[in-house]
Structure 1
C-alpha cells in the first residue's frame, strides 16, 4: 500500500482550484461516467461572477433618514379594524364585569379573571374586524391584468435549502424553471440553490441533483448552486451572503422555501408588479397549501384555502403599504434589502439574544423604516407551499416560531419603525402569549368556581357589611358572553365558508355545497379538539423560552409519513393526564363546570389518539375519497404541481438521497472532481488554532485502507469536514473499494 502521507502532500502541493466552479455533465438523467481530467478552473462555473453589494448592519437605536416615502395605509380601514376591535373589547369587558359583579363587587381573583378575559378577547376581536374587512373586499372580484409581454429588470430566484431531500427540491425548481420559460420571459430570471446543509449525504445529493439538472436544462438555463461551509445566522445569513456576494447583478430577488411552488405566470406577475411600483421594497404573495394528504395536513390545507384569503385580504387592506413579509414566496427589491435589512445581533444569549431567529418580520419592518413600501397581493394566483404532516411536526416548527416571535419583544421598540410594523410584531407576540393567557384564564376560572362551591363565607370580616362578599356569577350573562365570544372567534371561518359557497367554481370544486359545509363542520370539530392540546404545547414553549432554553434549528419534515406511536405517547402523556385530572376535579366541583369545560377536557383526554390520527395518511385519503376536506386545487391540480410530482418521482428513482456521500464520491471520479471544484477557496488557518473535526477526518482518511473503513470511522461532523478538504477527498478516491 502506498504511503498515505505522500498522497496528501502531493495534493497539497497542487494549486488550489478556483472557488465556485464545477463541471457540467453531458447526460441529462445521470452524471456521465467520466469527465476530462482538465483543470477545474476551465470548467463551467457553479456560480456567476461575483457582484458585491454592500449590506450595512442596521442600528435599532438610531432612526435613519428615510430617502423616500413609499409607505402608508388607508385611514378608514384602520379606523374600522382597530376602532371596531376596541369597541368590541370594551363591550366584552363591560359584560364580563357584569357577570362577576352580581354581588355588588368583585374579589381580586375576579379582577384577575377580568384582565385575562380582556386580553384574550381583544385578540379575537381584532381578527374578527380584520376578517370583516377582508370579506367585504373579496365580494368585489377584479379581473386579472394581462401577462406582460416583456420585462425591463433582472430577478434572481433563490431557494435556500437545509438538509432537504434533493429529489423534491430540484423537481420543484425544474417545474418552475420550465413554467417561466413557457411564458417567453425566462431570460429575465436566474435560478439559485443556496445550500446551508450540514449533513454530508444531503450535501452531495444536492450537488448530484444540481449537476444532472443543469446538464438536462443546458448551458442557457442560468441555474446555479452554492454551499456554505458554516450556516452562520441560518436562513437570514444564507440570503445575506448571496446579496453581499452576487446581489449587484440583480434588480430583485424572489425568495422561496424548499417546498415553494409558483406558476410561471405568478413569478412573472410578481416581477412586473415590482417594476410597476418603484417605491415597493417587498411584494408578498399569498401561498396556498397543496399536496397534503394526512388528516392534520388536510385540515390545514382546507382551512388555508377557505378561510385564509379572508384573513389575508383583511390584513392586506388595512396594512396598505405598511405590510409584512412571511419569509418566502415574495419578491424583494435588491436595493431596498441591501440598504435596510442588514440584521444586527441582539445583545445577550439565546433565546432572546443572539441572531434574530424570525428574520422576515424584522426585515420587512426595517425596509419599511427606510421608506420603502411593503405590500401584499392576496388575489394573485399560483403561489403554493406545503405544510407539516402531523400535530407533532407542527409543534416542532412552532417551537422555533414561538422563540422568534417572542424575541421580537427586543425589536418592537426600535427607533423609527412605522406603527403598523410595531402592530405586526405585537400580533406575532400575542399569537403565542395568548396560549398561556388562555391557560391562566381557565385556571383562575376553576379556582373561583372551587372557591364558590367549597369555601365558606367570612361573616366577621374586618369591614362592616350586612352580607359576606364572595365570588358569584350571573349565569345568564355568562352564557350570553360565551356565545358572543364563540361567535367572534368563529366568524372568520363562517365568512370564508360564505365566500366559498357564493363562488360557483370553488363550491363545485370543493365537493358541492353539502360536502363543503360538512367539511367545514369537520374542520371546526377537529380544530376545537386539537386547540387545548396546541394551547398546552405553545404554553410549554413560551415557558421554556422564558426559562432561557434555546430551540436550535431542526430541518422540517415534509413527507406524509407517520410518527412512531411510542413517540406520540411520550410527547402527549402529560396532556392526557392533565385532561383526566381536570375532568375528575371539574365533575367533583360541579356538573355545570364539567359541561362548560367538556371540549377542553375531551381534547386533552384524547390527545394521544388525536395526535396519532393527525399523521395518518389513510384517514386523510379516506376523507378525500368521500369528497371531504377537498380543495379546488385537488379537483383540478395546478399543472405545475403535476409536473413537479412527476419530476420528483423520476428524481427519487435516481437514488441520490439514499446514497452514502463517501461511497458516491469514491465511485464517481467526475463527481469528486466536480465537488472539489465547487468548494470555495480555502482560507488560511490562524496559527495556533486547530479544527478538531478537520484534523481527525484527515488523520482517519489517511489511515483507512478501504471505503468501508472510512465510513465506519468517520463521525457525521468529520465526514462533513472531509468534504471541505481537497487533500482528504483525493485520498478518499485512492482507497480500495468496500
Structure 2
C-alpha cells in the first residue's frame, strides 16, 4: 500500500512544472442590476456620439408597413365573416386571425428591408484583416456534459487558425465546464491535457470545472468575468456546438476596437455538419433564408439590437458593469433564475448606454442544430419558459423601447402556437354550429333581413392566398438572392436542385409545423400551470431516437389528428380540405418524427444533391480541421473513461487532476454531508478498485473526485481483487 502512495506522490513534483490549468485571476466586479430603480444619469456617455445613428426612416417603414398589411388582413377577414352579421365566435376568430396575421406581416416587411439591403451583394463577406490589434480577447466556451473530443477539437481548430494568421498573442481560449457527469468531467480533463500536449506548453488554452453549476450558463460566464475578466478587453462567447474561423474571430475583435461604444456585436451563425433529415431541413433554411431575415432586422434594429447567447463578441467592461442578472421575484417558472439570459443581458447593456448590433455578413461563424424533432421539442421547452419569463421584465425601468420589443417578440414566438390552435378550434366550432345548432335567423333587434351564419367563400379563398404569399415571401426573397449569387448557386447544386430543395423544405416544414404547434402549446400551458423545466444537456449527434420513445411522445398528436379528421369529415369535406396541412402533419406525427432523426434519409438527399449547402460542396477549412482534431482526440481515448479507473491507473493524470482542483472550502463544524460520508464509508470498506467502481453512486463519485482526502483513500486501493476473493469467486463458479 505504501508503494502505491509513493508512486502517486512522485509524479506530482514533475506535474508542477507544467502550466496551470487557468491563468492568474484578474477579478472584475459584476453587481446585479436593479430592475425597478434606474435613472438616465446611470447610463454612460457616448464616446463617439457623431457615429451613433438611428435608422428612423427604416423603422417607420417597418412599423407603418406592418400596420398597413395587418389592417388589410383584418379588413378582409372582417368582410369574410360579416356576411349576415358577426357572431361571438366569429369575433373570436377575427381577433385570433389578426393577432397571427400581424406576426407574419411584421416578418414580411422586415424581409422586404433585408431583400433590398442584400440585393446585388453577397450575403456573406470576408473582411480584410487589420494590420494590428491592441486589445486582448478571451474566447470562452461554456460546456455542460458534452462530448469532450468535439468541443476540444473545435477550440483547437479556432486557436490554431488565429495563431496561423499571426494574432495569437491577442487571444486566450477558455473551456468553462459545468459538467455534472463525473465520467464526462474526467474525460474533459484528459482531453484538455492531451490538447496541451499537442499545442505545446506555451499554448494559451485553459480549462476550469465548477464544483456546483450555480445559475447555470449565466453563472458560468459570470464566474469567469468576476475571476478573470479584468485581464481581457473583450470576450467572444461560443456555444458547445459553435465554430468560428480565425478570420471571423479577428474581424470581430477589430470591429470592437473600431467602435468604442459597442457593447455586443452579434454574428449570424450558419448551421453546418448536419446529416439527419430534420437537421438538413434546418441547415438548408438557415443558409438560404437566414441571411435575408438577419439583414432585415440588422437594418431596422440598428444599434438597439439583440443577443442570441453565442457567436458574439462582448466588451467585458460593458458586461460586468451592466449585465449582472438579478433573480426574479417569486418561484419558477416565472420567478427565480432568469433562463433566457441573453435577451436580458442585451437589454441591460443597451440600457447602460452601450450599442448592441449585428454584423450578419461576416463569413466564418457556424453552429449545429438539434438532430430531430424531439430534440428540438426538448430544447424548446426550456426556451419557452425563458421567453415567457420575460413578461416580468417588460416594465423594467430604463429599457430601450426596442429591448421591450425583443422581449415581446420572444414571448409571442411561443404564444403564437396556442393562438393558432385556438383559431383552428374556432373554425371547427363555427362549422359545428352551422351544421348541428339551429340558428336564430331573426334576432330581438328589428331587421328586414335574417342573420344568416354565412362566410364569403370567394373572399376567404383570396385571403388565404394572400396570407400564404405573405408567409412564404421571406423564403422567396432569400431564394432569389441565393440563386442570383453565382458561387452559392453552383455550390448548392444548381438552380433545379435548389428549387426542388426549396419546395421540399416548404412541404416538410408545413408538416412539422402542426406538431410543433401542439408541442409549444403544451409547453405554454404547463408553464402557465406552474410547472418549471430542468436543464438537460443538448443531444448533438446524428443518432436516431428509439421508435418506442417516438410513439410515446407523439401518440396523442396522432390521436388528435384522427379525431380532427373524423370530426371534419362529419361536418363538411370543405373543412377537411381547409385543415388538410394540419391534419396531415398530426396523422403522420409518428413517422415524421422518426424520419426527422433518420440519418439514412438525410444522407440520401445529400447524395441526390438536395438540401445541399455550399459549405458541404466546399467544406470550410475550419470545419475540416475541427473534425480531424475531434477524431484524433477520440482515438486517443479522450471520450472513453470510467472516471475512477482513469484517475487510479495513471499516476501522472492523478497528480494533474489534483492540481486542477480548487482549494477545498472550509466545512462548518458539525455539518454532515451525506454523500461525502457515504463515499468515505464505501471507500473504507472497499478491498480493491472494482468495489469502489461498483458501490459509489454518480453523486458520491463526484464528491470523491472533488475531495483530496477521499482521493487519497481511492489511491490506496489495489487495482486487482485480493487473491482470496479471486479463489472464492472461482470456487463458487
Into which bin does the TM-score normalised by the smaller protein fall?
over 0.9
Partner of 1:540: 522
Does residue 266 (structure 1) correspond to residue 248 (structure 2)? The answer is yes
Q: 2:121 aligns with which of 141, 151, 168?
A: 141
CA shift in 2, pair 1:525/1:40, >3 Å: same
Q: 1:475 aligns with which of 447, 457, 478?
A: 457
Q: 1:128 aligns with which of 76, 101, 108?
A: 108
Deviation at 1:490, TM superposition (A): 0.5
Q: 1:589 aligns with which of 546, 566, 571?
A: 571
Does residue 575 (structure 1) correspond to residue 543 (structure 2)? The answer is no
Question: 1:110–1:471: 8 Å Cα contact kept in structure 2?
Answer: no
Partner of 2:471: 489
Structural mapping, 1:214-253, within 5 Å: 214-253=196-235
Give the SS at the match of 1:685.
coil
Structural mapping, 1:692-703, within 5 Å: 692-703=674-685
> Could you tell me how far apart the structure 1 residues matched to 2:394 and 2:388 are?
10
Give the SS at the match of 1:332.
strand
Deviation at 1:140, TM superposition (A): 4.1
Deviation at 1:246, TM superposition (A): 0.5
What are the Cα deviations for residues 447-468 of structure 1, in whole angstroms up to 9, with x where unaligned? Answer: 0111112211225644444444
Partner of 1:52: 27
> Could you tell me how far apart the structure 1 residues matched to 2:701 and 2:435 are?
65
Give RMSD over aligned pairs. Answer: 1.8
Partner of 1:716: 698
> Could you tell me how far apart the structure 1 residues matched to 2:127 and 2:494 are?
29
Deviation at 1:82, TM superposition (A): 1.5
Q: 1:89 aligns with which of 63, 70, 86?
A: 70
Deviation at 1:692, TM superposition (A): 1.4
Deviation at 1:146, TM superposition (A): 1.8
Question: 2:306–2:347: 8 Å Cα contact kept in structure 1?
Answer: yes
Question: 1:72–1:322: 8 Å Cα contact kept in structure 2?
Answer: no
Give the SS at the match of 2:511.
helix
Partner of 1:36: 11
Q: 1:198 aligns with which of 180, 194, 197?
A: 180
Partner of 1:23: none
CA shift in 2, pair 1:144/1:562, >3 Å: closer
> Could you tell me how far apart the structure 1 residues matched to 2:178 and 2:544 are?
27
Question: 1:196–1:238: 8 Å Cα contact kept in structure 2?
Answer: yes
Deviation at 1:270, TM superposition (A): 0.4
Partner of 1:681: 663
Question: 2:126–2:363: 8 Å Cα contact kept in structure 1?
Answer: no
Deviation at 1:220, TM superposition (A): 2.0
Deviation at 1:73, TM superposition (A): 2.8
Partner of 2:345: 363
Larger mean CA deviation between 466-475 and 179-188 belongs to 466-475
CA shift in 2, pair 1:273/1:94, >3 Å: same
Question: 1:270–1:331: 8 Å Cα contact kept in structure 2?
Answer: yes
> Could you tell me how far apart the structure 1 residues matched to 2:269 and 2:65 are?
28
CA shift in 2, pair 1:463/1:259, >3 Å: same
CA shift in 2, pair 1:480/1:33, >3 Å: farther
Deviation at 1:393, TM superposition (A): 0.6
Give the SS at the match of 2:706.
coil
> Could you tell me how far apart the structure 2 residues matched to 1:670 and 1:310 are?
53
Deviation at 1:218, TM superposition (A): 1.2
Question: 1:68–1:372: 8 Å Cα contact kept in structure 2?
Answer: no
Question: 1:53–1:245: 8 Å Cα contact kept in structure 2?
Answer: yes
Deviation at 1:553, TM superposition (A): 0.5
Give the SS at the match of 1:301.
helix
> Could you tell me how far apart the structure 1 residues matched to 2:15 and 2:531 are?
46
Partner of 1:562: 544
What are the Cα deviations for residues 630-651 of structure 1, in whole angstroms up to 9, with x where unaligned? Answer: 0000000000101111111111
Deviation at 1:734, TM superposition (A): 1.4
Question: 2:551–2:590: 8 Å Cα contact kept in structure 1?
Answer: yes
> Could you tell me how far apart the structure 2 residues matched to 1:145 and 1:710 are?
56
Partner of 1:317: 299
What are the Cα deviations for residues 24-59 of structure 1, in whole angstroms up to 9, with x where unaligned? Answer: xxxxxxxx9997332876652111111000101000
> Could you tell me how far apart the structure 2 residues matched to 1:333 and 1:718 are?
40
Partner of 1:68: 45
Partner of 1:17: none
Deviation at 1:314, TM superposition (A): 0.5
> Could you tell me how far apart the structure 2 residues matched to 1:239 and 1:144 are?
29
Deviation at 1:596, TM superposition (A): 0.7
What are the Cα deviations for residues 92-133 of structure 1, in whole angstroms up to 9, with x where unaligned? Answer: 111111110011x21111111111111100000000000110
Structural mapping, 1:84-483, within 5 Å: 84-103=65-84, 105-141=85-121, 144-458=126-440, 461-483=443-465
Partner of 2:632: 650
Structural mapping, 1:587-626, within 5 Å: 587-626=569-608
Please, which runs of 5 or more residues in structure 1 have no aligned partner?
Answer: 12-31
Give the SS at the match of 1:657.
coil
Partner of 1:504: 486
Deviation at 1:606, TM superposition (A): 0.2
What are the Cα deviations for residues 122-162 of structure 1, in whole angstroms up to 9, with x where unaligned? Answer: 00000000011001001142775421121000000001000
Aligned residues: 711
> Could you tell me how far apart the structure 1 residues matched to 2:438 and 2:328 are?
52
> Could you tell me how far apart the structure 2 residues matched to 1:37 and 1:724 are?
17
Q: 2:532 aligns with which of 537, 546, 550?
A: 550
Question: 2:127–2:251: 8 Å Cα contact kept in structure 1?
Answer: no
Deviation at 1:703, TM superposition (A): 1.6
Give the SS at the match of 1:191.
strand
Larger mean CA deviation between 452-461 and 261-270 belongs to 452-461
What are the Cα deviations for residues 641-687 of structure 1, in whole angstroms up to 9, with x where unaligned? Answer: 01111111111112222210011011111111111111111111123
Question: 2:83–2:452: 8 Å Cα contact kept in structure 1?
Answer: no
Partner of 1:78: 59
Deviation at 1:411, TM superposition (A): 1.1
> Could you tell me how far apart the structure 1 residues matched to 2:446 and 2:584 are?
45
Question: 1:34–1:670: 8 Å Cα contact kept in structure 2?
Answer: no
> Could you tell me how far apart the structure 1 residues matched to 2:602 and 2:564 are?
31
Question: 1:294–1:620: 8 Å Cα contact kept in structure 2?
Answer: yes
Larger mean CA deviation between 453-462 and 200-209 belongs to 453-462
Question: 1:107–1:470: 8 Å Cα contact kept in structure 2?
Answer: no
Deviation at 1:242, TM superposition (A): 0.3
